[in-house]
Amino acid sequence: MRRKLAAGNWKMNGTGPALAELESLAHTFPDPSVDILICPPATLLHRASQTVHHTGIAVGGQDCHAATSGAHTGDLSAEMLKDTGANSVILGHSERREDHGEQNEDVRAKARTAMDAGLTTIICVGESLEQREAANTLDIIGGQMSGSIPDQSTGENLVVAYEPIWAIGTGKVPTLEEIGEVHDFMRARLERRFGEGVGRSVRLLYGGSVKPSNAAEIFGVSNVDGALVGGASLKAEDFSGIIRALEGA
Protein backbone atom coordinates (compact mmCIF):
# COMPACT_ATOMS: atom_id res chain seq x y z
CA MET A 1 0.00 0.00 0.00
CA ARG A 2 1.50 3.32 -1.08
CA ARG A 3 1.45 5.92 1.69
CA LYS A 4 0.12 9.25 0.46
CA LEU A 5 2.53 12.21 0.28
CA ALA A 6 1.91 15.96 0.47
CA ALA A 7 5.12 17.73 -0.55
CA GLY A 8 5.56 21.49 -0.41
CA ASN A 9 8.12 23.27 -2.59
CA TRP A 10 8.83 26.72 -1.18
CA LYS A 11 11.09 27.57 -4.13
CA MET A 12 13.01 30.85 -3.57
CA ASN A 13 10.73 32.03 -0.78
CA GLY A 14 11.15 32.28 2.96
CA THR A 15 13.49 33.58 5.64
CA GLY A 16 13.65 32.83 9.35
CA PRO A 17 10.15 34.07 10.25
CA ALA A 18 8.63 31.59 7.75
CA LEU A 19 9.56 28.77 10.12
CA ALA A 20 6.51 29.76 12.16
CA GLU A 21 4.44 28.22 9.35
CA LEU A 22 6.21 24.91 9.95
CA GLU A 23 5.48 25.13 13.66
CA SER A 24 1.83 25.77 12.89
CA LEU A 25 1.71 22.84 10.47
CA ALA A 26 3.29 20.50 13.03
CA HIS A 27 0.77 21.65 15.64
CA THR A 28 -2.13 21.06 13.25
CA PHE A 29 -0.94 17.57 12.27
CA PRO A 30 0.71 16.02 15.36
CA ASP A 31 0.15 12.48 14.01
CA PRO A 32 -0.64 12.72 10.29
CA SER A 33 -2.00 9.74 8.40
CA VAL A 34 -0.08 10.84 5.30
CA ASP A 35 3.55 11.82 4.76
CA ILE A 36 4.18 15.57 4.89
CA LEU A 37 7.33 17.03 3.35
CA ILE A 38 8.44 20.66 3.15
CA CYS A 39 11.30 21.68 0.84
CA PRO A 40 12.42 25.16 1.91
CA PRO A 41 15.32 27.14 0.45
CA ALA A 42 18.74 25.80 1.42
CA THR A 43 19.31 28.66 3.87
CA LEU A 44 16.47 27.34 6.02
CA LEU A 45 17.10 23.60 5.77
CA HIS A 46 18.96 23.08 9.04
CA ARG A 47 16.67 25.35 11.04
CA ALA A 48 13.63 23.74 9.44
CA SER A 49 14.93 20.29 10.40
CA GLN A 50 15.32 21.42 13.98
CA THR A 51 11.87 23.00 13.96
CA VAL A 52 10.11 19.79 12.91
CA HIS A 53 12.35 17.38 14.83
CA HIS A 54 10.24 14.67 16.49
CA THR A 55 7.12 15.73 14.56
CA GLY A 56 5.33 14.09 11.65
CA ILE A 57 6.86 16.49 9.13
CA ALA A 58 10.03 15.92 7.09
CA VAL A 59 12.17 18.39 5.17
CA GLY A 60 13.94 18.11 1.84
CA GLY A 61 16.13 20.06 -0.56
CA GLN A 62 15.18 21.62 -3.88
CA ASP A 63 18.25 20.45 -5.82
CA CYS A 64 21.67 18.88 -5.40
CA HIS A 65 24.86 18.48 -7.42
CA ALA A 66 25.70 15.25 -9.20
CA ALA A 67 29.16 15.17 -7.59
CA THR A 68 29.69 14.16 -3.99
CA SER A 69 32.15 17.04 -3.39
CA GLY A 70 34.59 19.27 -5.23
CA ALA A 71 35.16 22.63 -6.86
CA HIS A 72 31.55 23.57 -7.49
CA THR A 73 31.09 27.01 -5.97
CA GLY A 74 27.57 27.71 -4.82
CA ASP A 75 26.34 24.13 -5.20
CA LEU A 76 25.27 21.65 -2.54
CA SER A 77 25.92 17.91 -2.53
CA ALA A 78 23.41 15.27 -1.53
CA GLU A 79 25.49 14.48 1.55
CA MET A 80 25.33 18.16 2.57
CA LEU A 81 21.55 18.10 2.28
CA LYS A 82 21.39 14.97 4.40
CA ASP A 83 23.69 16.60 6.95
CA THR A 84 21.12 19.37 7.46
CA GLY A 85 18.50 16.80 8.38
CA ALA A 86 16.86 16.51 4.97
CA ASN A 87 15.58 13.12 3.87
CA SER A 88 14.48 14.02 0.34
CA VAL A 89 15.34 16.21 -2.63
CA ILE A 90 13.38 17.56 -5.59
CA LEU A 91 15.17 17.02 -8.91
CA GLY A 92 14.44 18.03 -12.49
CA HIS A 93 11.81 20.64 -11.69
CA SER A 94 10.77 22.50 -14.84
CA GLU A 95 12.18 25.71 -13.40
CA ARG A 96 15.59 24.04 -13.03
CA ARG A 97 15.34 22.60 -16.53
CA GLU A 98 14.40 26.02 -17.93
CA ASP A 99 16.51 28.40 -15.82
CA HIS A 100 19.64 26.23 -15.66
CA GLY A 101 19.38 24.22 -18.85
CA GLU A 102 19.19 20.89 -17.04
CA GLN A 103 18.72 17.90 -19.33
CA ASN A 104 17.40 14.45 -18.52
CA GLU A 105 20.93 13.07 -18.18
CA ASP A 106 21.77 15.81 -15.65
CA VAL A 107 18.74 14.90 -13.56
CA ARG A 108 19.62 11.20 -13.74
CA ALA A 109 23.18 11.84 -12.54
CA LYS A 110 21.92 13.92 -9.62
CA ALA A 111 19.35 11.28 -8.74
CA ARG A 112 21.98 8.54 -8.64
CA THR A 113 24.08 10.56 -6.21
CA ALA A 114 21.08 11.47 -4.07
CA MET A 115 19.92 7.85 -3.86
CA ASP A 116 23.43 6.72 -2.96
CA ALA A 117 23.36 9.26 -0.12
CA GLY A 118 20.10 7.81 1.19
CA LEU A 119 17.81 10.59 0.02
CA THR A 120 14.41 10.02 -1.52
CA THR A 121 14.34 11.70 -4.92
CA ILE A 122 11.25 13.46 -6.25
CA ILE A 123 11.86 13.53 -10.00
CA CYS A 124 9.69 16.03 -11.88
CA VAL A 125 8.33 15.58 -15.38
CA GLY A 126 5.93 17.69 -17.39
CA GLU A 127 5.05 19.12 -20.78
CA SER A 128 4.80 22.68 -22.08
CA LEU A 129 1.56 24.15 -23.41
CA GLU A 130 2.87 23.83 -26.97
CA GLN A 131 3.62 20.15 -26.43
CA ARG A 132 0.18 19.59 -24.89
CA GLU A 133 -1.55 21.30 -27.81
CA ALA A 134 0.51 19.23 -30.26
CA ALA A 135 -0.71 16.05 -28.54
CA ASN A 136 2.87 15.14 -27.60
CA THR A 137 2.32 14.93 -23.84
CA LEU A 138 2.85 11.20 -23.35
CA ASP A 139 5.88 11.12 -25.63
CA ILE A 140 7.45 13.97 -23.62
CA ILE A 141 6.65 12.35 -20.27
CA GLY A 142 7.92 8.97 -21.41
CA GLY A 143 11.19 10.45 -22.62
CA GLN A 144 11.73 12.39 -19.42
CA MET A 145 11.08 9.31 -17.31
CA SER A 146 13.41 7.12 -19.37
CA GLY A 147 16.19 9.70 -19.30
CA SER A 148 15.85 11.05 -15.77
CA ILE A 149 15.11 8.00 -13.59
CA PRO A 150 18.13 5.85 -12.57
CA ASP A 151 18.19 2.08 -12.74
CA GLN A 152 18.59 1.71 -8.97
CA SER A 153 15.17 3.23 -8.32
CA THR A 154 12.78 1.60 -5.85
CA GLY A 155 9.54 2.50 -4.14
CA GLU A 156 11.59 3.77 -1.20
CA ASN A 157 13.98 6.10 -3.02
CA LEU A 158 11.87 7.34 -5.94
CA VAL A 159 8.82 9.55 -6.22
CA VAL A 160 7.70 10.88 -9.61
CA ALA A 161 5.86 14.19 -9.82
CA TYR A 162 3.86 15.15 -12.89
CA GLU A 163 3.79 18.92 -13.21
CA PRO A 164 2.44 20.25 -16.51
CA ILE A 165 4.59 23.36 -17.03
CA TRP A 166 1.65 25.42 -18.24
CA ALA A 167 -0.26 24.77 -15.00
CA ILE A 168 2.46 25.79 -12.51
CA GLY A 169 1.42 28.97 -10.74
CA THR A 170 -1.08 29.90 -13.46
CA GLY A 171 -4.31 28.73 -11.87
CA LYS A 172 -4.89 26.49 -14.91
CA VAL A 173 -5.36 22.80 -14.18
CA PRO A 174 -5.68 19.88 -16.62
CA THR A 175 -8.98 18.06 -16.61
CA LEU A 176 -9.25 15.10 -14.28
CA GLU A 177 -9.24 12.86 -17.35
CA GLU A 178 -5.98 14.41 -18.57
CA ILE A 179 -4.36 13.98 -15.15
CA GLY A 180 -5.53 10.39 -14.99
CA GLU A 181 -4.24 9.61 -18.48
CA VAL A 182 -0.73 10.80 -17.58
CA HIS A 183 -0.65 9.10 -14.16
CA ASP A 184 -1.89 5.79 -15.55
CA PHE A 185 0.73 6.08 -18.30
CA MET A 186 3.50 6.72 -15.76
CA ARG A 187 2.42 3.75 -13.66
CA ALA A 188 2.46 1.48 -16.69
CA ARG A 189 5.91 2.73 -17.73
CA LEU A 190 7.32 2.09 -14.26
CA GLU A 191 5.84 -1.41 -14.10
CA ARG A 192 7.21 -2.26 -17.54
CA ARG A 193 10.69 -1.01 -16.67
CA PHE A 194 11.08 -2.16 -13.07
CA GLY A 195 8.51 -4.93 -12.73
CA GLU A 196 5.14 -4.85 -11.03
CA GLY A 197 6.54 -4.89 -7.49
CA VAL A 198 8.67 -1.77 -7.78
CA GLY A 199 6.46 -0.16 -10.41
CA ARG A 200 3.40 -0.31 -8.20
CA SER A 201 5.26 0.91 -5.09
CA VAL A 202 6.56 4.21 -6.50
CA ARG A 203 4.40 7.14 -5.47
CA LEU A 204 3.11 9.45 -8.21
CA LEU A 205 2.36 13.06 -7.32
CA TYR A 206 0.44 15.68 -9.24
CA GLY A 207 1.61 19.30 -9.17
CA GLY A 208 0.40 22.47 -10.83
CA SER A 209 -1.99 24.93 -9.18
CA VAL A 210 -3.17 22.48 -6.51
CA LYS A 211 -5.35 24.32 -3.98
CA PRO A 212 -7.61 23.35 -1.09
CA SER A 213 -10.57 23.97 -3.40
CA ASN A 214 -9.54 21.43 -6.05
CA ALA A 215 -7.37 19.00 -4.08
CA ALA A 216 -10.06 16.46 -3.17
CA GLU A 217 -11.15 15.84 -6.76
CA ILE A 218 -7.54 15.58 -7.96
CA PHE A 219 -6.74 13.06 -5.22
CA GLY A 220 -9.66 10.96 -6.40
CA VAL A 221 -7.98 10.37 -9.75
CA SER A 222 -6.43 6.97 -10.49
CA ASN A 223 -2.74 6.64 -9.50
CA VAL A 224 -2.53 10.08 -7.88
CA ASP A 225 -0.76 9.41 -4.58
CA GLY A 226 -0.44 13.01 -3.44
CA ALA A 227 0.74 16.40 -4.58
CA LEU A 228 3.82 18.53 -5.09
CA VAL A 229 2.58 21.97 -4.09
CA GLY A 230 4.18 25.34 -4.73
CA GLY A 231 2.63 28.60 -3.55
CA ALA A 232 -0.12 26.99 -1.49
CA SER A 233 2.50 25.31 0.71
CA LEU A 234 3.92 28.61 1.95
CA LYS A 235 1.08 29.16 4.40
CA ALA A 236 0.15 26.47 6.90
CA GLU A 237 -3.54 27.29 6.59
CA ASP A 238 -3.57 26.76 2.83
CA PHE A 239 -1.40 23.65 2.89
CA SER A 240 -3.48 22.19 5.71
CA GLY A 241 -6.55 22.15 3.48
CA ILE A 242 -4.65 20.15 0.88
CA ILE A 243 -3.30 17.73 3.50
CA ARG A 244 -6.79 17.18 4.92
CA ALA A 245 -8.09 16.43 1.43
CA LEU A 246 -5.30 13.88 0.99
CA GLU A 247 -6.04 12.28 4.35
CA GLY A 248 -9.63 11.83 3.22
CA ALA A 249 -8.75 10.41 -0.19
pLDDT tens for residues 155-210? 999 999 999 998 887 888 899 999 999 999 999 999 999 999 999 999 999 998 89
Catalogue all structural domains in the chain, each as residue range(s) with its CATH number.
Answer: 5-247 (3.20.20.70)
Active site (catalytic) residues: 93, 163
Query: What is the DSSP track for 150-193?
Result: -TT--TTTEEEEE--GGGTTTS----HHHHHHHHHHHHHHHHHH
Cβ-in-10-Å burial (0-12, 13-18, 19+) of 135 comes to exposed
Whole-number average pLDDT of the chain: 96
What's the pLDDT tens digit per position in 38-86?
999 999 999 999 999 999 999 999 999 999 999 999 999 999 999 999 9
Kindly state the percentage of the chain with pLDDT values over 70.
100
pLDDT at residue 177 in the model: 96
